[in-house]
């Protein structure tokens, strides 16, 4: 395996079901010895914000993969039900909760960055983000760091 292999994952969505794909790939990359960088932008900031990281939801409306009529997904309580069901399934797979998973990935050597523009737009300061965030960086700075990396946009 190439010792200089790098993986850059851009996480742009902030729901529970969209948090795990990037985290699973980052964890797998670190387990393989790949340098991993996670960049959270736009709604992905929900995954690394202290106020929301432990309260991510699964929203069934607009998600055709849930195989239910859209009007049912919009009924009161459906987001809560879908979230509880997904958390139970994740737990069965022995997957950690999102915040714990971020801690594990960071402790394994992955770098975690917040997008400067998204932080400014959402009025988030460094102290509003989980401790595992290494820095708030601009898009150009992130792209410089990610030069030569395999880039995934989630």
Rounded CA-CA distance 24/86 in Å is 15
Q: CA-CA-CA-CA torsion for 137, 139, 142, 147, nearest 10 degrees?
A: -170
Mean of pLDDT values over 109-129: 98
pLDDT above 60: residue 15 = yes
The residues spanned by each domain of the chain are 6-56+102-153
Instruction: Please write the tens of the pLDDT for every residue from 33-55.
Output: 999 999 999 999 999 999 999 99
Question: Six-digit token pair at 85?
Answer: 């069901």
Question: Six-digit token pair at 39?
Answer: 């960049």
Element (H, E) at 131: none
Sign, Cα dihedral of 142, 147, 153, 154: negative
Q: Among 3.30.70.2860, 3.40.50.2000, 3.40.1260.10, 3.40.50.150, what is the CATH number of 6-56+102-153?
A: 3.40.1260.10
At 60 the pLDDT is 78
At 146 the pLDDT is 96
pLDDT above 90: residue 131 = yes
Instruction: Please write the tens of the pLDDT for every residue from 50-106.
Output: 999 999 999 877 666 666 766 666 668 778 888 898 899 999 999 999 999 999 999
């Amino acid at each position: 395996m190439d010792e200089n292999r790098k993986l850059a994952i851009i996480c742009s969505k902030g729901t529970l079901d969209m948090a795990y794909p990037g985290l699973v790939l980052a964890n797998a990359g670190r387990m393989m010895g790949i340098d991993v960088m996670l960049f959270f932008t736009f709604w992905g900031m929900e995954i690394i914000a202290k106020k929301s990281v432990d309260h991510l939801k699964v929203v069934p409306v607009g998600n055709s993969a849930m195989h239910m009529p859209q009007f049912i997904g919009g009924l009161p309580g459906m987001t809560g039900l879908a979230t509880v069901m997904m958390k139970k399934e994740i737990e069965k797979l022995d997957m950690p909760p999102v915040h714990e998973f971020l801690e594990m990935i960071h402790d394994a050597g992955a770098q975690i960055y917040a997008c400067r523009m998204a932080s400014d737009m959402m009025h988030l300061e460094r102290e509003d983000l989980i401790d595992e965030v290494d820095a708030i960086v601009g898009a150009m700075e992130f792209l410089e760091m990610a030069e030569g990396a395999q880039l995934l946009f989630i």
